[in-house]
């Protein structure tokens, strides 16, 4: 199976970083977040990726065109220009880098890579979020339900502490409760090829709007509930949080 990664957005909420690079190239622990995502999928046996490029896509292209140099130490013999990679990675990935347009919406990006999908089902995710969702169980859930699409439902990280009040007295204080009992779209989709029937050719087809709404109304959209780690990278605060987890060697997604 292939994994489609949506990596073309402008990343305006993270302008401190994205003024010079696309958001999937923002680094956590010295490696772009898209690299962490691909390493995670690869752990579960997914080694072919279709990356939908847009804003500053040439930077992502350059990273993979010089992948060994960007991910390894180098030993260069200046006498004969010989280059060696002492700690070369063993990644055996096949990576399709497809320009899907700078201002193209998510659904339209997926529509544009239709010809590269030859299997009955494929994975799809955003290029800016990390999780420890079990990809094998996610896929099993999708096959068991036999619907057009499966979405990973997660409970968002808490932002604020919560007060439990009794009249004018604080009965208890809960530090940043997770999710407030709500579920949100965490990405990490599985789609059957029928998903393309719900995506139009307009540049403005937003996956999360009409296509998923229509699927839910037709009862063809399944939710795989994930109670574990999930962290989007929408703001500089999120980048710093993920970096701190990495530095503390407390990375729930780093299982390779």
DSSP string, 114-161: GGG--SSEEEEEETTEEE---HHHHHHHHHHHT-SEEEEEEPPPP-S-
State the pLDDT at residue 159: 66
Whether the predicted pLDDT of 245 surpasses 90: yes
Q: What is the pLDDT of residues 59-104, one digit of tens each?
A: 999 999 999 888 888 889 999 888 888 877 789 999 999 999 999 9
Is residue 16 within 8 A of residue 235, CB to CB? The reply is no
% pLDDT > 90, the chain: 77
Q: What is the pLDDT of residue 171?
A: 65
Rounded to 5 degrees, φ, ψ at 55 are -60, 120
Residue 136: pLDDT over 70: yes
Give the number of other Cβ atoms within 10 Å of residue 39's Cβ.
Answer: 17
Q: Which of 231, 229, 223 is nearest to 255 (CA)?
A: 229
Rg (alpha carbons) of the chain, rounded to whole number: 20
Provide the b/e sequence for 71-82 (b: ≥16 CB within 10 Å). beeeeeeeeeee
- If you average pLDDT over residues 50-57, what whole number do you get? 98
Which strand (E) or helix (H) includes residue 77? strand 75-77
Mean pLDDT, to the nearest integer, of 117-143?
97
Write out the H or E segment, with its range, that includes residue 71.
helix 67-71
Question: Which pLDDT value is given to residue 90?
Answer: 81
Q: Which long-range contacts (CB under 8 A, 24 or more apart) does 242-249 make?
A: 242/28, 242/33, 242/130, 243/28, 243/29, 246/28, 246/29, 247/29
Cα gap 150→189, rounded to integer Å: 6
Q: Which CATH number fits domain 2-155+182-247: 1.10.1270.20, 3.30.420.40, 3.90.550.10, 3.60.21.10?
A: 3.90.550.10
Q: Which tens digits make up the pLDDT trace of 2-16?
A: 999 999 999 999 999
Please determine, for residue 131, whether its predicted confidence score (pLDDT) is greater than 80: yes
pLDDT of residue 180: 61
What is the rounded average pLDDT of the residues 169-190? Answer: 76
Q: Are 121 and 151 in contact (CB under 8 A)?
A: no
Pick from 59, 38, 70, 67: which is nearest to 102 by CA? 59
- Which residue from 63, 42, 4 is spatially nearest to 253, judged by alpha carbons? 42
Domain ranges of the chain: 2-155+182-247
Q: Write out the two tokens for 158.
A: 């808490």
Q: What is the pLDDT of residues 138-179, one digit of tens each?
A: 999 999 999 999 999 998 766 666 667 777 777 666 666 666
Cα torsion 84, 88, 93, 99: sign: negative
Closest CA to 227 of 113, 131, 102: 131
Mean pLDDT of 205-234: 95
Is residue 36 left, alpha or beta, with left meaning phi > 0 and alpha meaning psi from -120 to 50?
alpha
Token code pair at residue 193: 């090829």
How high is the pLDDT of residue 177? 62
Task: Tell whether the model's pLDDT for residue 184 goes beyond 80.
Answer: yes
High-pLDDT (> 70) share of the chain, %: 92
């Amino acid at each position: 199976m292939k994994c489609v990664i949506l990596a073309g957005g402008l990343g305006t909420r993270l302008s401190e970083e994205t003024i010079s690079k696309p958001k999937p190239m923002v680094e956590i622990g010295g490696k772009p977040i898209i690299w962490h995502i691909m390493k995670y999928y690869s752990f579960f046996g997914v080694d072919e990726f279709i990356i939908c490029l847009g804003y500053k896509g040439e930077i992502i292209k350059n990273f993979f065109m010089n992948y060994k140099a960007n991910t390894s130490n180098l030993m260069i013999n200046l006498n004969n220009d010989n280059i060696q990679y002492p700690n070369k990675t063993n990644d055996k990935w096949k990576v399709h880098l497809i320009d899907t347009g700078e201002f193209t919406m998510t659904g339209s990006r997926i529509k544009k890579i239709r010809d590269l999908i030859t299997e009955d089902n494929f994975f799809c995710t955003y290029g800016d979020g990390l999780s420890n969702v079990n990809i094998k169980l996610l896929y099993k859930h999708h096959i068991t339900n036999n619907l057009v699409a499966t979405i990973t439902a997660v409970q968002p990280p808490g932002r604020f502490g919560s007060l439990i009040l009794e009249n004018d007295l604080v009965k208890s204080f809960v530090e940043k409760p997770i999710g407030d009992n709500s579920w949100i779209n965490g990405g990490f989709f599985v789609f059957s090829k029928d998903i393309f029937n719900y995506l139009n050719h307009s540049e403005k087809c937003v996956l999360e709007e009409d296509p998923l709404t229509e699927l839910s109304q037709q009862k063809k959209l399944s939710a795989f509930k994930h109670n574990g780690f999930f962290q989007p990278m929408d703001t500089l605060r999120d980048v710093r949080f993920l970096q701190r987890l990495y530095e503390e060697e407390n990375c729930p997604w780093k299982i390779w």
